[in-house]
Chains A and B, each alone.
Chain A
């Protein structure tokens, strides 16, 4: 039986006799010696992760200007920070995007620029009060001009994360980065064997008040993170640290194409090996950590799970999906995760970092619930028109033009003999064919890759499809691919007008 206390280990740190290994090294040690001898040999296991953690940001205090201003709305390099707190405090969130540069620059980049000690442009506006008369201000600052710059991240260090792939026939741009069509690739996140929370899954040593490595500086765990769901191995932590002491190497602003900005956070937790039970848990390997592969082509809250996969398989660079070999990409950096774990190891060995006893245990029984929605989401079947005209394949463009004129619809789904959708032809397609003098068979003029809607699809999803593809109508198909209706942007506009309580048909008369 091995029993140690945090105080025993801190004493060893002080006298320089502490034995620290990274969680990756510990896997081999436990494998070789067994948990009991490993617990006798090793005092501290260091973990590390370096990934995109959207739920991150920093509280900043600017000090008072003369005359003073209550900064109600404040922008740093054109990225808005939350100003609804005391006069000269603001919270800059990692995912807020720049009002002038859009998705490519956001709060994460502002935080990186501050840490890199670059000059940042500040702009703020206010209503003006007796105590804070000033209405606007513009200035240039660096992090050293701020009274405080305190990182506070509501949700960091996910214990593991889902793998993303895409079964649809179109490329998707998501917070899991580019997902190529037809299972063209799969992306994952998390450090696997080095994952801080996977090395102490029952929170025997990690809790509120634990001292950690945060972006190159010491930091602390405040408590459970938002969406903390230990029941499904999806635990998270809320953390804080002094931004002024952080190192840009372990903190990077980033942007995912088509999604937006975020912040890469380097985070490591030291785990005191108090007994053989803890040694055993820190001996976990990539093969033991299992996660789900989800199909991100579904725009719904619950995405279909395609299979389970281990981090060992993910790290091999290839997983099998639907009988197909699919290449994998991590979004978090294992290279940097190792650097976090080894830097923390070094700090402890040098006597520069003492371990802390947590003040309170993190909850182990919470689940992550869905949003309570009090208004029903309308579905396609509530809005679509079931009266529609279709045209059979093999007909001519002229036939289509006549049908369009007769039916007052600008979109004609083209169907096969068994009513399945095989294409679509629009008034615009016909105009183009006529203008080019090439109009005989429908097959040559119609669009074959048709964007479609399904009956149970929420109209917000349909509206996004119309907007993304710059089109005005979609055929609605059933599970066999048969056309059962049409939904148009007009149908959706009418519904929104009704929802907002005004009549769409009768515009308000202008009052003078």
Chain B
């Protein structure tokens, strides 16, 4: 399961992620991070069996945590089913169904954002 972490400026100097990994033994996979001088936003993939423990620990350290149920959202009204998103998706979260409409497998998505750039009709966006 993917979680979204927000680090407020006042706690930004601590190595929170490293300490959560060491303490829980969870193999966290950082999918996306944007960190600047004052704050940080990070999307992390957490093994399901460690999810509650990891969330609890982040929260106790003052990190804002929300569960990312939909890493990327496909707006079916805007989608024209062209397929421009498919070949830029390296984790193969996007594919054609048998009827040539677009299928999205959210579990595979690592939020690289390539499909959002490639979509000509603005049908994809981060949640």
A 432-466 binary contact with B (CB < 8 Å = 1; else 0): 00000000000000000000000000000000000
- A71-79, A151-159, A180-188, A367-375: which lies at the B interface? A180-188
A residues in contact with B83, CB < 8 Å: 329-331, 333-334
Question: Is B86 in the interface zone, CB < 8 Å from A?
Answer: yes
A178 touches B120 (CB 8 A): no
Cβ < 8 Å to B, chain A residues 267-297: none
Question: Is A332 in the interface zone, CB < 8 Å from B?
Answer: yes
A331 touches B86 (CB 8 A): no
- Of chain A, the residue at the smallest CB distance from B96 is A317
Min Cβ gap A296→B in Å is: 14
Interface residues contributed by chain A, number (CB under 8 Å): 32
A264 touches B80 (CB 8 A): yes
Min Cβ gap A313→B in Å is: 14
A336/B81 contact (C-beta < 8 A), A178-B114, A178-B117, A257-B118 known: yes
A178 touches B118 (CB 8 A): yes
A330 touches B117 (CB 8 A): no
Cβ < 8 Å to A, chain B residues 80-103: 80-88, 96, 99-101
A185 touches B87 (CB 8 A): yes
From A52, A177, A185, A335, contact of B100 by CB (8 A): A335
A 133-175 binary contact with B (CB < 8 Å = 1; else 0): 0000000000000000000000000000000000000000100
- Of chain A, the residue at the smallest CB distance from B92 is A327
A177/B84 contact (C-beta < 8 A), A252-B121, A255-B120 known: yes
A177 touches B118 (CB 8 A): yes
B 67-81 binary contact with A (CB < 8 Å = 1; else 0): 000000000000011
A 35-68 binary contact with B (CB < 8 Å = 1; else 0): 0000000000000001110000000000000000
With most chain A CB atoms within 10 A of its CB, the pick from B87, B96, B100, B118 is B87
Min Cβ gap B110→A in Å is: 16
B88 touches A335 (CB 8 A): no
B residues in contact with A411, CB < 8 Å: none
A328 touches B82 (CB 8 A): no
A185 touches B84 (CB 8 A): no
A331/B80 contact (C-beta < 8 A), A180-B88, A187-B87 known: no
A256 touches B114 (CB 8 A): no
B117 touches A52 (CB 8 A): no
A residues in contact with B81, CB < 8 Å: 333-336
A328/B100 contact (C-beta < 8 A), A178-B114, A254-B121, A257-B118 known: no
B87 touches A332 (CB 8 A): no
Cα(A131)–Cα(B117), bound, Å: 49
Min Cβ gap A248→B in Å is: 10
A residues in contact with B122, CB < 8 Å: 104, 255
Min Cβ gap B55→A in Å is: 35
Min Cβ gap A229→B in Å is: 24
Question: Is A338 in the interface zone, CB < 8 Å from B?
Answer: yes
With most chain A CB atoms within 10 A of its CB, the pick from B80, B81, B82 is B82
B121 touches A329 (CB 8 A): no
A330/B118 contact (C-beta < 8 A), A178-B88, A335-B99 known: no
B residues in contact with A329, CB < 8 Å: 83-88, 118
- Of chain A, the residue at the smallest CB distance from B117 is A257
A336 touches B80 (CB 8 A): yes
- Of chain B, the residue at the smallest CB distance from A261 is B120
Cα(A338)–Cα(B80), bound, Å: 13
B 20-31 binary contact with A (CB < 8 Å = 1; else 0): 000000000000
Cα(A173)–Cα(B81), bound, Å: 20
Cα(A187)–Cα(B119), bound, Å: 13
Min Cβ gap B52→A in Å is: 37
With most chain A CB atoms within 10 A of its CB, the pick from B81, B84, B86, B117 is B84
B residues in contact with A331, CB < 8 Å: 82-84, 120
Min Cβ gap B124→A in Å is: 12
Min Cβ gap B114→A in Å is: 7
Cα(A201)–Cα(B80), bound, Å: 28
A residues in contact with B86, CB < 8 Å: 317, 327, 329
Min Cβ gap A410→B in Å is: 29
B82 touches A333 (CB 8 A): yes
B residues in contact with A333, CB < 8 Å: 80-83, 100
A252/B80 contact (C-beta < 8 A), A52-B120, A335-B99 known: yes
B120 touches A256 (CB 8 A): yes
Min Cβ gap B84→A in Å is: 5
With most chain B CB atoms within 10 A of its CB, the pick from A173, A186, A256 is A256
Cβ < 8 Å to B, chain A residues 235-262: 252-257, 262
A residues in contact with B120, CB < 8 Å: 52, 177, 254-256, 262, 264, 331
Cα(A180)–Cα(B112), bound, Å: 14
Query: Could you list some 5 contacts between A and B, CB below 8 A?
Result: A173-B117, A178-B118, A255-B122, A264-B120, A335-B100
Chain B interfacial positions (CB closer than 8 Å to A): 80-88, 96, 99-101, 114, 117-118, 120-122
For the complex of A and B, 6 pairs with smallest distance between CB atoms:
A329-B87, A185-B87, A254-B120, A335-B81, A335-B100, A327-B87
Known: A177-B120, A336-B80. 5 other contacts (CB 8 A): A52-B120, A252-B80, A264-B82, A329-B86, A332-B82
